[in-house]
Structure 1
Amino acid sequence: MKKQLFKILARINKIVFPSFSKKGLDMSKAKKWQLAIIGWRYFTTKNSL
Structure 2
Amino acid sequence: MKKSLFRLLAQINKAVLPSLSKRRLDLAKASKWQLALVGWRYYVTTRALGD
TM-score normalised by the chain length of structure 2:
0.93
Gaps of 5+ in 1: none
Q: How many residues are matched?
A: 49
Q: State the 4+ residue runs in structure 1 displaced beyond 2 angstroms.
A: none
TM-score normalised by the chain length of structure 1:
0.97
Instruction: Report how far residue 37 of structure 1 moved.
Output: 0.5
Alignment of 1:8-47 (within 5 A): 8-47=8-47
Q: Report the RMSD for the aligned CA atoms in angstroms.
A: 0.4
